[in-house]
Structure 1
Amino acid sequence: MTELSAHHFGVTVTDLDRAVEFYRDVLGLDVLNRFSVSGEAFSTGVDVEGAIGNFAHLDAGSARVELVEYDPAGENRDTERVNQPGAKHLGIAVDDLDGFYEKLPSDVETLSEPQTTASGTRILFLRDPEGNLVEVLEA
């Protein structure tokens, strides 16, 4: 059987430059590369007629965060809540959650201050500029 391993976690955004700035400057991920993909095979593969994808790959340790801005863009959606079926979030580990929280820019929306769960894990949920949930946990 083929062995599976994580390669990337994809996040669709409407403003790639703004998203890259957030994931690079706020979360501290290094940009590995930026590129665009188009053509019939891509459009067929993503099931979006005439699709063009503008991508940025960022280094998240053992996997990449893939930010992608599509043309044509999809329709807006309501902000997801973590308990909705189909909800998704990106998990990022840090050494010092309180230090990370204290250095967040004031315009970054968090769901709460850092919390210690019953399992002993310290967590903080925030939203990227697109409203996507990001869980930052202390590892």
Structure 2
Amino acid sequence: MTRLAAHHFGVTVADLDRAVDFYRDTFDLGDPERFSVAGEAFSEAVDVDGATGRFAHFTLDGARIELVEYDPAGDDATGSAVNQPGAKHLGLAVDDLDAFYADLDSSVTTLSEPQTTESGTRICFVRDPEGNLVEVLEA
């Protein structure tokens, strides 16, 4: 079997510039690599007629967070609750969850204040500007 390695974790967004601002500023990720992809092979690969994509890659510990804005855009698939089948979230670790939470911009929506789970992991969920869930954890 071919060896697998994590390459990226993708989040489809409707407004790439707004999403880049949020992820860069909220998680202090720096400026991403940006590029666009189009053409017949891309459209066929993603199974969307005439698709083009604008991408932003943030590199984090050897993997990438990939934000992509498609044209044409599809229907909204954001789950409003983390326990809905098909719901998705991105998980990011921090050294000090309380400090991270205290430094959040007041415009950032959270599901709760930081909590300590039965396993001893401290977690907090935030929503990006499009409603996508991001779990911030301190293991």
Shorter-normalised TM range: over 0.9
Give the number of aligned pairs: 139
- Aligned residue for 1:124, secondary structure, equals strand
Question: Structure 1, residues 28-79: CA drift from partner, whole Å, max 9, x if none?
Answer: 1133410000000000000000001000000221310000000011123454
Whole-Å separation in 2 of the counterparts to 1:2 and 1:84: 32
TM-score (norm: length of structure 2): 0.96
TM-score by length of 1: 0.96
Aligned residue type for 2:128? D
Contact conserved, 2:38 with 2:53, CA < 8 A, in 1? yes
Distance 1:73 1:62 in 2: 29
Contact kept, 8 Å, 2:109 with 2:126, in 1: the verdict is yes
Contact 1:30/1:59 (<8 A) preserved: no
Which residue in the other structure is 1:71 paired with? 71
Percent identity (aligned): 71
Structure 1 position 99, deviation (Å) = 0.2
Structure 2: gaps of 5 or more residues: none
**CA RMSD of the aligned region, Å?**
1.1
Aligned 8 A contact 1:114 1:122 in 2: yes
After TM superposition, the structure 1 stretch with the greater mean CA deviation from structure 2, 17-26 or 80-89, is 80-89
